[in-house]
Amino acid sequence: MKKRFLLKTTAALLVTCAFGLAQAQNTPIKFQLDWRFEGPSALFLTPVAKGYFKDAKLDVTVDAGNGSGAAVTRVASGSYDIGFADLAALMEFHANNPEVPNKPVAIMMVYNNTPASVMALKKSGIKTPADLAGKKLGAPVFDAGRRAFPIFQKANNIGNVAWTAMDPPLRETMLVRGDVDAITGFTFTSLLNIEARGVKADEVVVMQYPDFGVKLYGNAIIASPKIIKENPAAVKAFLAAFTKGAKDVINNPAAVIADVKARDGIINVELETRRLQLAIDTVINSASAREEGFGQIKGPRLSLMASQVSDAFNTKTRVKADDIWNGSFLPSAKELDILPKLKK
């Protein structure tokens, strides 16, 4: 009886150890989104749901965020290993915190163009950037479009404007009510939010920054120096698995929204599918993205952005482009060739 008990105990221990070893093989990675669970977050939720990260021996947890600035700070603090943030926010953090030792770096470009736009109702009479002079603009103080507005303003010779600050949920409401003349925001966020407040898309003037001389990059995957130094193989595996998932997202946005709904059951599926498609069309599968290649950057363009951000954000030190980017973990050119060709 005692011998049989010992055999059972030994077998149980062996199973437990084997399970523990299997679990230990998967590297845990904490990932921080820039915003809440909306259509574009499928880019990261789908490779989790389909097991692509797991197949790459990674145990990835994805958390919702509340702004690019916060995402950068959390990765810098070590609370998260990898994150998703606006490149301008990363540049600002570097330039304003030269003494901080663990500044994150961008390792893959996802939004090849900034999603920022200025939006106004057609009934306001605003048709072009020049019409914004003397008008009241609204946006949260940390909004990427508001922070970069001086670059848009300079590129289009716009006179002085007045700013009104508000919390993100009030931005589109204040525009529709007429409390402000125009707002800044991500196109695929604010335009759909305006529609949700009863205004049709064709009643809105949308001035996307890339269409008006602002060639800023948008959101990139960022990583902490700690994980880059201690586990470069995991960083490389993360980007390969992400790219595989991104291809699925780009090819079938409607199908992957289920992965977003699995994380936030109250989302509007139709709305978030449109939001994701709009993000794909405007900043992921854009003309410049196809020219430069998914995930990649061009040195001269990055240097120009570093200079523009230094000026527009009035940073403590100048942004150094070489300190911001590390493309050594990118998948091969063949793996990165995921953007659909334009239909003729």
Per-residue buried b or exposed e for 162-188, using 16+ beta carbons within 10 Å of the residue's own CB? eeeebebeebbebbbeeebbbbbbbbb
Beta carbons of 178 and 268 less than 8 angstroms apart: no
Q: How many helices (H) and strands (E) does the chain have?
A: 17, 10
What 3-state class would DSSP assign to 319? coil
Structure tokens at 164: 């009104």
State the burial class of residue 24 (Cβ atoms within 10 Å of its Cβ: 0-12, 13-18, 19+): exposed
Query: Structure pTM?
Result: 0.90
Q: What's the pLDDT score for residue 21?
A: 47
List, for residues 14-58, the tens digit of each pLDDT value.
555 555 544 458 999 999 999 999 999 999 999 999 999 999 999
The sign one gets for the Cα dihedral 192, 196, 200, 205 is negative
**Which residue positions in the chain have pLDDT lower than 70?**
1-24, 343-344
List, for residues 248-285, the tens digit of each pLDDT value.
999 999 999 999 999 999 999 999 999 999 999 999 99
Q: What's the pLDDT score for residue 25?
A: 83
CA pair distance 28, 62, nearest whole angstrom: 11
CATH no. for 116-212: 3.40.190.10
* 314 alpha-carbon distance from chain centroid: 23
Q: What's the pLDDT score for residue 341?
A: 80
Q: What's the pLDDT score for residue 1?
A: 54
Q: What's the pLDDT score for residue 163?
A: 98
Structure tokens at 60: 């990835």
**Residue ranges of the chain that CATH labels 3.40.190.10:** 8-113+217-336, 116-212
Fold entry, domain 8-113+217-336: D-Maltodextrin-Binding Protein; domain 2 (3.40.190)
- Please give the full DSSP string across 56-84, using - where no structure is assigned: TTEEEEEE--S-HHHHHHHHHHTS-SEEE
